[in-house]
Amino acid sequence: MKYDLILAGVGGQGILSMAYMLDKACLGAGLSFKQAEVHGMAQRGGAVQSHLRISDREIHSDLIPLGAAEMILSVEPLEAGRYLPYLSATGRVISSAAPVKNIPDYPPEQQVLDLVLGMQGALLVDSVLIAKAVGNSKAQNTIMLGAASPFLPLSAQHIKDAIAEVFTPKGEAIRDLNLRAFDLGRACTLFQEEQRAAGVAPRDFFEASKTR
């Protein structure tokens, strides 16, 4: 088994924390992993990405080749498009629908969302809305982990155990908030997949959800 994942977003969104939690989940599951990241010198708002390779055998390189990633998981929609050349022929893109307009020439929001929805296996998640529901805007990274979890080679419980381990030192309330964020992100994806199976395209689902 081999699974290559690219995590993407901008500084301040907890991308490297997502990678750390997945690393811990891999350890709990007894899987091998290698991780490499490149980021804008930790500058808030700068592009951040991490290559994460998961396998049940030895991994020789920590960098994902072009056309090999099973998933691009992004907490910022424009950043999802940056790494599209890495996506495999059977891969998928899961992204937050919430733009972070960190550059002066950021494209029109609808254009960015249309770009993501046109990508292979695309799912958009309103992580801002879900974060408001759990009561913490910083929980968007655990929401997106939940959104990706149905497709990862890790059980939901292994990921939740890793989330609990990371957040328990910050108090039970923060731990439980992030576990709920994970569950809601996962539920969002599972519902969208049910809709897809029923013939509702992700674009139609997302457009309909905006009117509610």
The fold for domain 2-210 equals Pyruvate-ferredoxin Oxidoreductase; domain 3 (3.40.920)
The 10 Å CB-count burial string (b at 16+, else e) for 15-30 is bbbbbebbbbbbebbe
Would you write out the chain's pLDDT as a tens digit for each of its 212 residues? Answer: 999 999 999 888 889 899 999 999 999 999 999 988 766 544 556 788 899 999 998 888 889 999 999 999 999 999 998 899 999 999 999 999 999 988 889 999 999 998 888 887 899 999 999 999 999 999 999 999 999 999 999 999 999 999 999 999 999 999 999 999 999 999 999 998 888 888 887 777 777 666 55
User: Measured between alpha carbons, how far is residue 187 from residues 74, 84, 145, 169 in Å?
Assistant: 18, 25, 11, 26
CA distances from 157 to 24, 165, 171 (A): 12, 12, 20
Give the C-alpha separation, 207 to 204, whole Å. 5
How far is it, in rounded angstroms, from Cα 178 to Cα 122?
Answer: 24
Q: Does the reported pTM lie above 0.95?
A: no
